[in-house]
Amino acid sequence: MTRQSASEIADEAAAWVARIDAADWSDADERQLAQWMAADPRRRGALLHAQACWVALDAPPATARTTVPRRGFVLAAGGALAASVAGGFLWLAGGTTYRTDIGEIRRVPLADGSTATINSDTQLEVTLASKRREVRIASGEAWFRVAKDPARPFVVEAGQVVVQAVGTAFSVRRRDAGADIIVTEGIVEVWAAQADGYRTSLVAGQSAFVGDNAAVRVRAGAPSDADRALAWRAGAIDLSGKTVAEAITDFNRYNRRKLVLVDPRLAGEQIDGIFRTDDPEGFGKALHDSFGVAVDSGDSDAIRIGAKNVPGEEGSGVPMSLRQQGRKTGH
Amino acid sequence: MESGEAEQGGDAARRRRIALWVAREILPHEYRVRTWLRRAGTASDDADELIQEAYCRLAMLEDVDHIDSPYAYFFSIVRNLLLRRLKRQSIVPLETIAEIDSCHDDRPSPEQLAAGRLAYRKALDLIARLPERCGRIVQLRKIEGWSQRRIAEHLGTTEKAVEKQIWLGVRALREQWSRAEQAADDLMSAREQRGGRGR
């Protein structure tokens, strides 16, 4: 698709405004409009601009008709409002704290109808105030399915990183110097508390790392990537295309019994497969089967991969001959 | 205003709410941001893009309640977008960036902000400047509050034709707002002066 110019987009937006203004606006129209907007982030801005030009011709708020929500006017006009996005947040005391253990994945329904699916080894605090719904992630990761409530934005803070939505689904994982965000439905806005007014929008299927220093790295992937990254919600790890080193880090999030890579040559090898988060042994076995490495499960604290006594085969990718030895084991 | 609007779910209502806010708080001052961009050496096409992107940021907001000074907020978005753009083109002298970074706009005075609130009156002026047929239809729709269908019946034309005129109207209005030059301010200062002379 060739890049549209700003004025081409503006003209299309004007056409939408004219159409919205006609009497019979249907759900199908709304869907079409959503599609149009989703195809290029600039379109949303053009639509707002065109719509503003059009509603500017409406009588001023004092005599506005009742379909217009009062709040927007009263508060926008009133101005001075406590929680300004500019200066970080005032977190009200009295939230509810949730904590999960290593290996524990918990789904928590919140009082506003939203749900939080909390990953292993996570601590977060939920405060549902009248003006906004706030979650602060102290450590770990959670996926939120947010109940729609335009009057109360849903705001997740992970360190310096802030993510805001109204009704949508997304995950936030707190990292050392920032946070990973994956959007599975709708749109969210992300920003770093330091970078006032500097927001990035992410739509379904996109993920991003936002640094505490406000650097934003957006990755647009297939929707299936997001699902894969969030397989933990179903207690699974989906490794498609991950390296062995990454996979090991992943498993170790969920288990006290750690995988230890003794043979560093294996670290960069790619591996596929879906495993249970609580089955590092199964993963060790798959490595043994695909790469012919020795796996030592003798220790109750650790599973060592690539232990000294490497069997005959050297190198990677001889799965056929090895799969024969791989017996399914129950636990 | 038609009954359908109230039933449209959250997103449509939110879009409309933010549009009303933009119409009141930002639109009357948009030319100000454009003037500033021009002075900062931005080509007109680029200015269009920056402004569109800035509106995009606003469109992404769930709510505008927390914004104390809408114009300053909008201006800072545009300025940040411009800075980002300049930093990407490494040939720009650092002083230019520093200059823009430290530069603040010619913030509207309280009187000018009040003039902005006269946006509605200004908007009515704008209707008068539309091409005849287009202006007539926009007037029937906005001032008389007729539906597009009723206008079509009245003029003996199709609803599609009316919709098209409204499309042309929205486009023309957008042009006028962005090129509005001093109109809103002039309106206000004219009143000020009239009041002031009474001393």
B60 → closest Cβ in A44, A60, A151: A44
Residues of chain B above pLDDT 90, percent? 22
Residue A311 clears pLDDT 70, i.e. is over it: no
Helical ranges in chain B per DSSP H = 3-7, 10-25, 30-39, 44-60, 70-88, 94-102, 110-116, 119-128, 132-142, 148-155, 159-178, 183-197
Question: Span B72-100, mean pLDDT?
Answer: 73
Give Cα separations from A148 to A92, A114, A183, B113 (angstroms): 22, 8, 16, 34
Phi-psi region of B68 (alpha: psi -120 to 50; beta: other; left: phi over 0): alpha
Q: Is any Cβ of chain A less than 8 angstroms from the Cβ of B8?
A: yes
Q: Is any Cβ of chain A less than 8 angstroms from the Cβ of B157?
A: no
Interface test with A, best of B25, B56, B82 (most A CBs within 10 A): B56
Q: Is any Cβ of chain A less than 8 angstroms from the Cβ of B93?
A: no
Question: Span A101-129, mean pLDDT?
Answer: 88
Question: What confidence category does residue A35 fall into, taking pLDDT thresholds of 50, 70 and 90?
Answer: very high
Nearest to B52 by CA among B74, B73, B84, B36: B74
Range scoring the smallest mean pLDDT among A154-158, A180-184, B191-195: B191-195
Q: Is any Cβ of chain A less than 8 angstroms from the Cβ of B63?
A: yes
> B71, B29 in Cβ contact below 8 A?
yes
> A275, A257 in Cβ contact below 8 A?
no
Question: What confidence category does residue B4 fall into, taking pLDDT thresholds of 50, 70 and 90?
Answer: very low
Interface test with A, best of B174, B175, B177 (most A CBs within 10 A): B174
Give the CATH fold of the A96-226 domain: Jelly Rolls (2.60.120)
Residues of A in contact with B80 (CB under 8 A): 197-198
The number of beta carbons lying within 10 Å of the beta carbon of residue B188 is 22
Residues of chain A above pLDDT 70, percent? 79
Structural Rg of chain A based on CA atoms: 25
Question: Span A223-235, mean pLDDT?
Answer: 80
Instruction: Put the strands of the sheet holding A123-128 in their side by side order.
Output: A96-99, A123-128, A133-139, A154-158, A161-165, A187-192, A200-203
Q: What share of chain A is helix, strand, coil (3-state, %, to 5)?
A: 30, 30, 40
Interface of B with A in 20-49 (CB under 8 A): 20-27, 45, 48-49
Give the mean pLDDT of chain A. 78
Q: Is any Cβ of chain A less than 8 angstroms from the Cβ of B62?
A: yes
> How far apart, in whole angstroms, are the C-alpha atoms of residue A280 and residue A303?
8
Question: Span B5-20, mean pLDDT?
Answer: 73
| pLDDT of amino acid A248 | 92
Please give the residue of chain A at the shortest CA–CA distance from B161.
A18
B59 → closest Cβ in A44, A54, A83: A44
Distance (Å) from the C-alpha of residue A220 to the closest C-alpha of chain B?
A: 18
Residue A19 clears pLDDT 90, i.e. is over it: yes
> How far apart, in whole angstroms, are the C-alpha atoms of residue B19 and residue B5?
14
Domain ranges of chain A: 6-78, 96-226, 235-323
Residue A60 clears pLDDT 70, i.e. is over it: no
Domain ranges of chain B: 1-107, 109-199
More confident residue, A228 or B121: A228
Topology agreement, domain A96-226 and domain A235-323? no
B17 → closest Cβ in A21, A72, A198: A72
Tokens, residue A120: 């292993």
Please give the residue of chain A at the shortest CA–CA distance from B45.
A6
| pLDDT of amino acid B181 | 53
Q: How many CB pairs under 8 A join A and B?
A: 203
Residues of B in contact with A19 (CB under 8 A): 163
pTM, 2 dp: 0.46
> B80, B97 in Cβ contact below 8 A?
no
Report the range out of A101-110, A274-283, B69-78, B165-174 with the highest average pLDDT. Answer: B165-174
| pLDDT of amino acid B88 | 73
Say yes or no for a CB contact (<8 Å) between B80 and A25. no
B166 → closest Cβ in A10, A21, A153: A21
> How far apart, in whole angstroms, are the C-alpha atoms of residue A270 and residue A316?
10
B60 → closest Cβ in A53, A65, A187: A187
Interface of B with A in 67-86 (CB under 8 A): 67-70, 73, 76-77, 80
B10 → closest Cβ in A10, A72, A148: A148
Architecture of the domain delimited by A235-323: 3-Layer(bab) Sandwich (3.55)
Tokens, residue B132: 């005849």
Residue B126 clears pLDDT 60, i.e. is over it: yes
Give Cα separations from A266 to A60, A259, A283 (angstroms): 68, 13, 14
Say yes or no for a CB contact (<8 Å) between A48 and B58. yes
Q: Is any Cβ of chain A less than 8 angstroms from the Cβ of B124?
A: yes
Pick the CATH number of B109-199 from 1.10.10.10, 3.40.190.10, 1.10.620.20, 1.20.120.140: 1.10.10.10
Say yes or no for a CB contact (<8 Å) between A21 and B26. no
A45 → closest Cβ in B9, B13, B53: B53
Say yes or no for a CB contact (<8 Å) between B19 and A55. yes
Please give the residue of chain B at the shortest CA–CA distance from A89.
B66
Residue A294 clears pLDDT 70, i.e. is over it: yes
Say yes or no for a CB contact (<8 Å) between B124 and A57. yes
Please give the residue of chain B at the shortest CA–CA distance from A4.
B49
